[in-house]
């Protein structure tokens, strides 16, 4: 006995394949910092926070060695932030940044470390500064 299947249209097949690809892309899209630049809300908040620092290509494009993004809960705010950790290629020891992004508020804050000097970007509130500093020290102790 031979089984027969109804023919599937090319359009349906294309939609099914595209849908499968979109699902797999969205499942991994936020794994690394540079993928967040595809989000218009992140990109707007990020470039606003960077200000004149966006002239540095590694910051503008989030290029360079980086860890996968983490999700951090700020208990004082009952709010989830995305933590990005990125450094300048071939200069990670001297030039790197930790970035916290709140999707709920559309706001980004950073701790930028260059040549032994750390500075905050985006005017972070004290609890956000504390979180950035904590993660910076944690990273340095590795």
What does 12-70 look like in DSSP terms, one character per residue? HHHHHHHHHHHHHHHHHTTSSHHHHTTSHHHHHHHHHHHGGGGGSHHHHTT-S-BPPPE
* Token pair listed for 26: 């969205």
Q: Whole-model pTM?
A: 0.76
pLDDT tens per residue across span 34-65: 999 999 999 999 999 999 999 999 999 998 99
| Sequence spans of domains, the chain | 30-140
CATH topology of domain 30-140: Inhibitor of vertebrate lysozyme, Ivy (3.40.1420)
Name the band, by pLDDT with cuts 50, 70 and 90, for residue 83.
very high
Name the band, by pLDDT with cuts 50, 70 and 90, for residue 135.
very high
| Average pLDDT, rounded, for the chain | 81
């Amino acid at each position: 006995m031979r089984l027969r299947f109804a023919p599937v249209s090319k359009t349906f097949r294309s939609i099914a394949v595209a849908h499968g690809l979109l699902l797999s892309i969205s499942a991994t899209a936020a794994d690394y910092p540079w993928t967040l630049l595809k989000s218009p809300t992140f990109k707007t908040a990020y470039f606003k926070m960077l200000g004149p620092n966006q002239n540095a290509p590694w910051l503008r494009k989030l290029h360079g060695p980086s860890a996968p993004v983490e999700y951090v809960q700020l208990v004082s705010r009952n709010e989830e932030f995305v933590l990005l950790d990125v450094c300048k290629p071939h200069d990670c020891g001297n030039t790197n940044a930790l970035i916290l992004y709140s999707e709920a508020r559309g706001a980004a804050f950073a701790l930028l470390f260059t040549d032994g000097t750390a500075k905050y970007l985006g005017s972070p509130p004290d609890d956000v500064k504390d979180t950035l500093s904590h993660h910076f020290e944690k990273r340095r102790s590795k």
